[in-house]
Amino acid sequence: MNVFLFILSKMKKAKENAKKSVSKAKESARHFRQEFNKAINTALLAAFGFLIALFWRDVIQEWVANLTESSPVQGKLISALIVTLICVIGIIVVARIFKVKKD
């Protein structure tokens, strides 16, 4: 009878350990899925941002060229300032929209 109880107790412990392992595996898979989704979202946002920047680049350059036709150096300086301002505003807006919430 003692052997039977001993085996039964070992089986219960093994079952509990298996449940803990399955729980840890599920938690790990959930965490991986969250991190993977964050990485995919970041990559997609960067790709869209790059595409938008490419299209706006020509528009801004033409606008600045028309605005300052007197000196090419002055035009490049103003162009750099305008692009910098737009990028800083964009970074602030995107950072607020996609703020990562701490668990």
Tell me: pLDDT of 103 over 60.
no
Range of the domain at 68: 2-97
**Would you give the DSSP letter of residue 100?**
P
Contact between 34 and 45 under an 8 Å Cβ cutoff? The reply is: no
Task: Find the helix packing angle between 72-97 and 2-67, rounded to 10°.
Answer: 150
Residue reference for tokens 């840890």:
24
Please report the pLDDT score of residue 86 as a whole number.
84
Whether the model clears a pTM of 0.85, i.e. scores above it, the answer is no
Residue 102 within a domain: no
> How far is Cα 75 from Cα 13, in angstroms, rounded to an integer?
76
Domains: count for the chain: 1
pLDDT in tens, 43-91: 888 888 888 888 778 887 787 777 767 666 666 777 777 878 888 888 7
